[in-house]
Copies of this chain bind each other. A is one copy, B any other.
Amino acid sequence: MKIFFIGDIMGSPGRKAVAGLLHKVVDKHQIDLVIANVENASGGIGVTPEVAEQLFQMGIDIMTSGNHIWKHKEIMPYLDANDRILRPANYPEGAPGQGLTVIETAVGESVAVLNLEGRIFMNPLDCPFRTADRELASLPSTIKIILVDMHAEATSEKLALAWYLDGRASAVIGTHTHVQTADERILPGGLGYLTDAGMTGPADGVIGMDRQVIIHRFLTHLPQRFKVASHNLQLQGVVLDIAATGQCQELRRIQMALK
């Protein structure tokens, strides 16, 4: 089965890139399932229910997220009500929503998607490694295809999780840094890995934000009002080919520009 995982969608420019380019990827690679990280989809930070609905309409089947998911309060009941959008599973007990979901695809195969957040240079959440153990153990053994979005800053934490889950999941795809990495590979146990899927949005900013604002912040350390950049829209992500056994057969990085 072919899965397309889309890197962090950044504000309305990111949604525009999805609207203009997703169908091309789906057609070309005969995609069965589309997953996207949406933690920045509304105004560059967080996602509202309206924007989530808009993205579902565009053809995204499952949404993952990360540290910015809580920005807009309205998302909390939406997370509770909708199991097609995830927040990291390792938020403490009692957080709204869920971090794991199972979807049955048109071709009749079940796919589990697990969302985790790293702790190095980030929030002190529950252990992502042990949360992964627990969540994977909760799945029926008939589910073979398992994709993990590891939303984290440190390369070491993402890589360590991949090796930790090799043989137990189909893929670990990293998000959060907004820069696509060039280290796609399949580990010995069949787990497909990419440290970061990249960012879907304006390439002329700094990780999607207006570059003058970000440069000014680095020069002054005064708080700035963030502004999403707007030019040079691109879609980034990775196409995974996963066998019915759950083994990853191929990863192909995607970088497309909207003309």
Q: Which residues of A contact B (CB under 8 A)?
A: 70-71, 91-92, 94-95, 119-121, 123-127, 129-130, 153-157, 159-161, 163-164, 177-183, 195-196, 198, 206-207, 209, 211, 214-215, 218-223, 253, 255
Contact = CB atoms under 8 A, between A and B. Distances in A.
B221 A92 contact: yes
Contacts of A181: 179-182, 196
How many copies the complex holds: the figure is 4
Given A70-B222, A181-B179, A121 B121 contact: yes
A102 to B, nearest CB: 25
A182 B253 contact: yes
**A interface secondary structure, majority:** loop
A207 B159 contact: yes
Given A124-B119, A163-B211, A181-B179, A95 B220 contact: yes
A95 B198 contact: no
A223 B71 CA distance: 8
Nearest to A222: B70
Given A126-B126, A130-B92, A182-B253, A157 B221 contact: no
Contacts of A153: 121, 153-154
A214 B156 contact: yes
B214 A160 contact: yes
B127 A92 contact: yes
18 contacts: A70-B223, A91-B220, A95-B220, A119-B124, A120-B124, A123-B221, A124-B127, A124-B221, A127-B219, A129-B219, A153-B154, A155-B179, A159-B214, A163-B206, A163-B211, A163-B215, A164-B218, A182-B255
Contacts of A125: 124, 221
Nearest to A125: B221
Contact of A219 (B123, B130, B182, B220): B130
Contacts of A182: 180-182, 198, 253, 255
Given A70-B223, A155-B178, A181-B196, 7 more contacts: A124-B127, A125-B221, A155-B177, A160-B218, A164-B218, A179-B183, A180-B183
A125 B124 CA distance: 7
Contacts of A214: 156, 159-160
Best-buried of A94, A219, A223, A255 by chain B (most CB within 10 Å): A219
| 6 tightest A-B CB contacts, nearest first | A182-B182, A119-B124, A159-B206, A155-B179, A124-B124, A180-B182
